[in-house]
């Protein structure tokens, strides 16, 4: 299962490193690795939401706060101290974990709607914090923080290690009859190689996060979280430490948000305040709900939806019978909002649960057919 997933990822990497767009009518839709890297970033952040909302049942919605915190810390270390991106996680993870735990402390007293209120307030606060004059040195104010190295003035480069024969693989794939065309033409350029290496690295980081969380969920602390979600009183009576469980789940969620932020800023190259507004917090919730609250695979689906749908919606500049003026508006936001409502009304488990149901039905039909 995991092996096939990794192989799939690699194939995607080779296929979409360069071309990555499909045209339908006169509209062009990007599929490039840039989008997919963003999707990975969002997926990890949504995974954090899964932990705190999906598994612990705390309506904490301000994930953009930690997404931004991770992005800014990472950008700052890379630009000002010439750290490599992955190494910044050494700082990003503990600091986001701590901030999350501290900001989660009020949640020990506040819950339900009030927590939703407060966390969305925090999310709204983030852009104003990083725009503060006193933090300008570190955050770059309203203009944002470039990840360009301060001293050398160059971008951090994701160079694949020399032992990895990316070029050879690409060429080999191109030789496959019929399908070869999908994998581009000729040797990979430096830019393509580095983009691909980025994608591979980020996929690895994300897979590691997903693997760790899936183990956590099955472990004792994970059971404690679900107990808190299902019934706090009975969880407390059965010896679950409510305060500890909640605080830790806030910490983990925030750390994941920070990791997502690191990936995001490594892809985009700049951390700018408006990329981490409360609207982003809401979009991440869309990702959570669309994929399915309380499912790990839902986080992947959610990340893809968030990375692709608004982008595709704004790429759609002409549909017959729809005035062009309408298509120029925030159609992505409209679609995400509608998805949120429609899924909550008709498919409360999200896409991932619905897919499981379809699969189960298929499997039962199959087995019944076999029995007969």
Partner 1 sequence: MTPYDERTWGADMDLFLQRLFDALTNGSTYALIAVAMVLIFKATTLINFAQGEQAMLGAFIVLQLWKWGIPMWGAVVIGMVFSGILAACLERTFIRKFDPADHLPLVIITLGLFLVINAVAAIIWRFDPLSFPQLFPSGRAVTIGNARLSWYSIFAFGSCLLVLFVLQTLLTKTKIGLAFRAVSSNLESSRLCGIKIGQTLQFGWALAAAAGTLGASIYAANPVLQIEPTIMLRALIFSITAAALGGLDSLWGALIGGLTIGFVQSVVVQYIPFIPNEMTLAAAVVVLLIVLTFRPSGFLGTKTVERV
- Residue 53 or 217: which CB sits closer to partner 1? 53
In angstroms, what CA-CA distances link 140 with 133, 135, 146, 211, 241? 9, 8, 8, 35, 41
Tell me the closest approach of the beta carbon of residue 236 to partner 1, in angstroms. 9
CB atoms within 10 A of CB 360: 10
Residues, the chain: 372
C-alpha span between 255 and 57 (Å, rounded): 18
Tell me the closest approach of the beta carbon of residue 288 to partner 1, in angstroms. 9
Using CB under 8 A, list all residues that contact partner 1: 53, 57, 59, 61, 106, 108-114, 116-118, 120-122, 124-125, 128-129, 131-134, 232, 242, 278, 282, 285-286, 289, 293, 326, 329-331, 333-334, 336-341, 344-345, 348
Tell me the closest approach of the beta carbon of residue 301 to partner 1, in angstroms. 16
- Residue 111 or 226: which CB sits closer to partner 1? 111
- Residue 278 or 295: which CB sits closer to partner 1? 278
- Residue 120 or 209: which CB sits closer to partner 1? 120
Helices (H) and strands (E) in the chain, counts: 16, 4
Tell me the closest approach of the beta carbon of residue 242 to partner 1, in angstroms. 7
Burial 120-148 (b: 16+ CB within 10 A, else e): bebbbebbebbbeeeeeebbbbeebbbbe
Tell me the closest approach of the beta carbon of residue 254 to partner 1, in angstroms. 16
- Residue 34 or 115: which CB sits closer to partner 1? 115
- Residue 160 or 350: which CB sits closer to partner 1? 350
The candidate with the shortest Cα–Cα distance to 307, out of 3, 29, 42, is 42
- Residue 118 or 188: which CB sits closer to partner 1? 118
Tell me the closest approach of the beta carbon of residue 213 to partner 1, in angstroms. 20
Residue 279 φ/ψ region, left for φ over 0, alpha for ψ in the -120 to 50 degree band, beta for the rest = alpha
Tell me the closest approach of the beta carbon of residue 47 to partner 1, in angstroms. 18
Q: Between β-strands 21-24 and 270-271, what pairing exists: parallel, antiparallel or unpaired?
A: unpaired
- Residue 33 or 309: which CB sits closer to partner 1? 309
CB distance 101 to 247 below 8 Å? yes
Looking at residue 82, the DSSP 8-state letter turns out to be -
Tell me the closest approach of the beta carbon of residue 316 to partner 1, in angstroms. 13
String of DSSP letters for 218-268: HSHHHHHHHHHHH-HHHHHHTT--HHHHHHHHHHHHHHHHHHHHHHHHHHH
169-175 CB contacts, 8 Å cutoff, 24+ apart: 169/14, 170/14, 173/11, 173/14
């Amino acid at each position: 299962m995991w092996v096939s997933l990794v192989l799939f990822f690699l194939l995607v990497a080779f296929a979409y490193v360069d071309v990555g767009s499909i045209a339908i009518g006169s509209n062009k839709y990007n599929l490039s690795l840039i989008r997919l890297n963003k999707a990975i970033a969002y997926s990890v952040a949504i995974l954090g939401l899964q932990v705190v909302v999906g598994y612990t049942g705390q309506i904490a919605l301000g994930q953009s706060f930690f997404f931004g915190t991770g992005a800014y810390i990472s950008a700052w270390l890379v630009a000002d101290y010439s750290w490599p991106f992955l190494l910044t996680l050494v700082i990003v993870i503990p600091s986001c974990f701590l901030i999350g735990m501290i900001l989660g402390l009020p949640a020990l007293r506040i819950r339900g709607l009030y927590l939703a209120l407060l966390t969305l307030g925090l999310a709204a606060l983030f852009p104003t914090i990083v725009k503060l004059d006193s933090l300008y040195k570190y955050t770059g104010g309203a203009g944002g923080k470039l990840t360009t190295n301060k001293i050398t003035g160059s971008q951090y480069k994701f160079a694949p290690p020399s032992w990895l024969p990316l070029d050879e693989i690409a060429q080999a794939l191109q030789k496959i009859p019929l399908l070869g065309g999908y994998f581009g033409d000729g040797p990979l350029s430096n830019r393509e190689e580095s983009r691909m290496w980025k994608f591979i690295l980020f996929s690895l980081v994300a897979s590691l996060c997903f693997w760790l969380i899936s183990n956590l969920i099955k472990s004792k602390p994970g059971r404690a979280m679900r107990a808190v979600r299902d019934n706090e009183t009975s969880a407390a009576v059965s010896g679950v430490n409510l305060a500890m469980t909640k605080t830790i789940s806030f910490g983990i969620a925030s750390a994941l948000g920070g990791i997502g932020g690191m990936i995001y800023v490594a892809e985009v190259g700049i951390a700018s305040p408006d990329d981490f507004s409360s609207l982003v917090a809401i979009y991440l919730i869309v990702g959570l709900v669309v994929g399915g609250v309380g499912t790990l695979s839902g986080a992947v689906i959610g990340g893809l939806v968030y990375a692709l749908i608004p982008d595709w919606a704004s790429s759609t500049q002409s549909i017959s019978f729809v005035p062009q003026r309408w298509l120029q508006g925030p159609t992505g936001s409209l679609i995400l909002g509608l998805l949120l409502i429609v899924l909550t009304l008709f498919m409360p488990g999200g896409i991932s649960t619905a897919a499981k149901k379809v699969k189960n039905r298929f499997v039962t039909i199959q087995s019944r057919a076999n029995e007969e």
